[in-house]
Amino acid sequence: MPIITRQSIEEVRSRADIVALVGDYTNLKKAGASWKGLSPFTTEKTPSFHVHPEKGLFYCFSTSQGGDVFRFLMLKEGLNFQESVERVASRFGVVLQYEKGGGSQDERTLRARLLALHDVAAAHFAAAFKADNEAARAVRDYWTQSRRFSLGTAEQFQIGFAPVDGGGLARALLKAGFPGDVLRKSGLFVGTDYSPDPLRWRARFRGRLMIPIRDIQGRVVAFTARQLDLTPKDDPSHEAKYVNSPETEIFRKSLMLFNLDKARVSAREGVPFVLVEGQLDAIRAYTCGVLTVVASQGTAIGAEHVTLLRRYTNRVDALLDADRAGQAAVLRLLPLAFQSGLDLRVLHVPGGKDPDEYLAAHGADGWPAVRDHAVGAIAFAVRALIPPGVPLTTVQKLEALQTLFAIIAQSASAVVRDETLGEVCRLTSLDPHAVRSDFLRYQQKQRHRPANAAAPAADPATDAPAAPLATAEEALLALLLKPGAEGFAREVAAVVQHEWLDTSTVTGRLLGRVLAEIAYGDCQTPAHTLAETQEEVNLFSQLSLSPIRINDARAQASECVAALFNRFVRRRRAEIARKIAALPPAESPEKTRVLQEEEIRLRKALQTPPRIVWAH
């Protein structure tokens, strides 16, 4: 493997725009001298991810991970250091230099070679689509006449054609310098276990229209192949209308949405994503001016997809087929939307037509009729489960309500749950008191699960005084929840280091999120609104009743900070002692010296611990 020169690495680091790179994965907004957004590493509703462009660093308070632009890609894409440098260099147009004697400079990592291979394959299929032969002309006729797309749109999306005989794809890739092992791992061939010779393998896609699938940075990572009259009968997937590439090192269906590389740019301007079922639906909508349209890759929308969309905007309009399958898909999406805090609306095509068919006939002028008649998520669910004008028995109504309760209960916000229940009552004309009573019983039933059962929030009017708080995290978090905490919160957040917190606990993670919001946000977000799960909501409720005296806030905050710092130092010193004891004798002198120097620094730090500088 060739080794990138140190000088070249530093050039990439200096020329890389970390805000632009991270912005490919989550929507960032300016927050003082830094940028802030939802974590690209986990699911959250409140932004805890910060980028500091002047330092070239990021930090995620939800996962306690941070570093430079290379570290970000290593964590996000699972790359090693060299792969990350190559990816960043490619992103910002930096030509890398390699050490002499470190192998061929043309040698690349598997991921880099798979990306390059798919680029060549996409060009190969596009050339076959444009070729001057009978099969290619038939495919172009299908595209322009049957599907009513223009050749300009085919060029824009790099639409291709996989010839019936395979079109010499393996030969073209080998000629381009890709070894057989990379062809085998590309997912573009079958029969790779029966022969070591790539020229004897069969192309996975034959006689099909080829639609490239691109990742968030616009690189081809896979293909969707649409059945044609030319699709050979001996194709094992002949009856399947659409066939996707299998999952590979660079393609995961659950983490990919078609056209997201284009759509995310417009979605950042406050325009909702428009979610459709298929790639051709997405291409049609895009050509009609719906620039935020995305489609799943032949799979049901999952939690990962929702998380991916949520990082750019909290608004999504679902435009799925009007048939029973499309309706069921929306109902599966609703709990995920409520859980993630997504503002979901449902769009309908006039006359119950297929979106592609409708927009092909009406063009961009037909879009307002779809967009302007959006239905709220819960209104759609009520209409689907309790159709107007259809007589239902009491048991059927109860079953429908249980389904609605399961959706509503996913929201961590009591306000959202209460307002949604009110909307259900208005839409169904059911008694509000009875519906809310049934919902409370539903929630109580769900809480009986032993593994996830949480203690009910205390009632200040009837319960005994709360027990003393067990940890410094609990005490400090309870303090920050009290009215009046905004008068000293920034001073506390400026001192407490994230590494001092025990993030293996819910309290530690919540405190980290609250401190991050105070330190990097606008300090206007109430702390309790940062809860993202029912467990966190319950914890906030419990801590808000704790015996903390706000008039002694500064003294109590100082005690908490000192306790957090002292515990961190003790744990770190114990860790250093274990490391020194475990060092092999051959490595002991130098590594022991480094660890001992750190231990001395920590010991001195205990004598002069960090102190809060209070504003007057």
Q: How far apart are CA 611 and CA 616, in angstroms?
A: 15
- Quick one: what percent of the chain has pLDDT higher than 70? 87
CB 527 within 8 A of CB 514: yes
What would the pLDDT profile of 99-151 be if each residue is shown by its tens digit? Answer: 765 544 444 578 889 999 999 999 999 999 999 999 999 999 999 999 999 99
Q: Across residues 556-564, what is the average pLDDT?
A: 86
pLDDT at position 213, please? Answer: 96
Tokens linked to 82? 């060299």
pLDDT at position 455, please? Answer: 36
pLDDT at position 81, please? Answer: 84
End-to-end CA distance of the chain: 60
Element (H, E) at 613: none
177: left (phi over 0), alpha (psi -120 to 50) or beta: left
Question: Is residue 5's pLDDT more than 60?
Answer: yes
Q: Across residues 198-215, what is the average pLDDT?
A: 94
pLDDT at position 130, please? Answer: 96
The alpha-carbon radius of gyration of the chain (Å, integer) is: 29
Beta strands in 110-201 (DSSP E): 160-162, 189-190
pLDDT at position 107, please? Answer: 47
Burial of 471 (0-12, 13-18, 19+ CB in 10 A): middle
What would the pLDDT profile of 454-495 be if each residue is shown by its tens digit? Answer: 333 333 333 333 334 568 888 888 888 776 676 678 888 888
pLDDT at position 452, please? Answer: 40
What would the pLDDT profile of 324-376 be if each residue is shown by its tens digit? Answer: 777 788 888 899 898 888 899 999 888 777 888 899 999 999 999 999 889 99
Sheet-wide strand order for 29-31: 29-31, 34-37, 49-52, 57-60, 65-67
CB 88 within 8 A of CB 70: yes
Phi then psi for residue 202, to 5 deg, are -100, 135
User: In the 3-class helix/strand/coil scheme, how is 192-207 assigned residue by residue?
Assistant: CCCCCCHHHCEECCCC
Chain centroid to Cα 83, Å, comes to 22
pLDDT at position 79, please? Answer: 79
Contacts of 369 (CB under 8 A, 6+ apart): 350, 362
pLDDT at position 460, please? Answer: 30
pLDDT at position 308, please? Answer: 86
Q: Across residues 418-431, what is the average pLDDT?
A: 91
Classified as helix, coil or strand, 227 is strand
Q: For CA atoms 454, 460, 462, 464, give the dihedral sign.
A: positive
Question: Is residue 301's pLDDT more than 90?
Answer: no
Q: Across residues 507-524, what is the average pLDDT?
A: 73
Q: Which of 163-177, 242-256, 508-522, 548-562 is predicted most confidently?
A: 163-177
Q: How far apart are CA 256 and CA 253, in angstroms?
A: 5
Q: How far apart are CA 400 and CA 299, in angstroms?
A: 26
Q: Which of 396-405, 495-504, 524-533 is predicted most confidently?
A: 396-405
CB 246 within 8 A of CB 265: no
Using alpha carbons, select from 137, 136, 85 the residue that is nearest to residue 111.
85
Question: Is residue 522's pLDDT more than 80?
Answer: no
Question: Is residue 529's pLDDT more than 60?
Answer: no
pLDDT at position 379, please? Answer: 92
Sheet-wide strand order for 375-376: 293-295, 273-276, 315-318, 343-346, 375-376
Using alpha carbons, select from 306, 361, 359, 312 the residue that is nearest to residue 329.
306
Q: Label residue 528 by pLDDT band (50, 70, 90).
A: low
- pTM reported for the whole predicted model: 0.66
Q: Which of 23-37, 173-187, 541-555 is predicted most confidently?
A: 173-187
pLDDT at position 353, please? Answer: 75
Q: Label residue 615 by pLDDT band (50, 70, 90).
A: low
Amino acid found at 367: W
Q: Across residues 70-81, what is the average pLDDT?
A: 85
pLDDT at position 394, please? Answer: 83
Q: Label residue 420 by pLDDT band (50, 70, 90).
A: very high
Compute the mean pLDDT over every residue in the chain, rounded to the nearest whole number: 83
Using alpha carbons, select from 369, 304, 375 the residue that is nearest to residue 343.
375
pLDDT at position 526, please? Answer: 52
Task: Give the other-Cβ count within 10 Å of 262's Cβ.
Answer: 19
Q: How far apart are CA 271 and CA 265, in angstroms?
A: 10
Using alpha carbons, select from 508, 449, 441, 433 the residue that is nearest to residue 475.
508
Q: Label residue 453 by pLDDT band (50, 70, 90).
A: very low
Chain centroid to Cα 575, Å, comes to 34
Q: How far apart are CA 294 and CA 313, in angstroms?
A: 13
What would the pLDDT profile of 220-262 be if each residue is shown by its tens digit? Answer: 999 999 999 999 988 888 888 888 899 898 898 888 899 999 9
